């Protein structure tokens, strides 16, 4: 929630495009860094999805289609999606 207004944030653009977005409105950070594509591919790692990370940081991520991992991260996503209902 405290990063949605930062320079380079795409939160408003997502909302304007009709893409669902939920934010962690707690005093803590939802600090997961993963994406699931087509319910079949997982991207996970230290990579901060920012311009600074893309241009300057030492970051890492893995891409896998391991069904067990995709399923575990999909469950985590669904739990977070429910937890951060507006």
* 29 assigned to active site: no
Which residues, 6 or more positions from 44, have their beta carbon under 8 angstroms from its beta carbon?
33, 34, 35, 61, 62, 64, 69, 73
Which one from 3, 29, 32, 33 is the annotated catalytic residue?
33
Cα dihedral sign for 80, 81, 83, 86?
Answer: positive
* 67 assigned to active site: no
Tokens at residue 5, please? Answer: 């207004």
* 2 assigned to active site: no
Tokens at residue 52, please? Answer: 């600074």
Which one from 2, 12, 31, 32 is the annotated catalytic residue?
31
Which one from 38, 55, 75, 85 is the annotated catalytic residue?
38
Residues designated catalytic: 31, 33, 38
């Amino acid at each position: 929630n405290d990063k949605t207004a930062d320079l380079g944030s795409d939160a408003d653009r997502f909302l304007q495009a009709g893409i669902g977005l939920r934010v962690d409105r707690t005093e803590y950070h939802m600090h997961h860094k993963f994406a699931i594509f087509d319910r079949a591919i997982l991207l996970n790692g230290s990579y901060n999805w920012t311009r600074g990370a893309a241009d300057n940081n030492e970051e890492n991520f893995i891409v896998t289609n391991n069904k067990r991992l995709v399923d575990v991260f999909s469950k985590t996503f669904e739990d977070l999606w429910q937890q951060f209902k507006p």
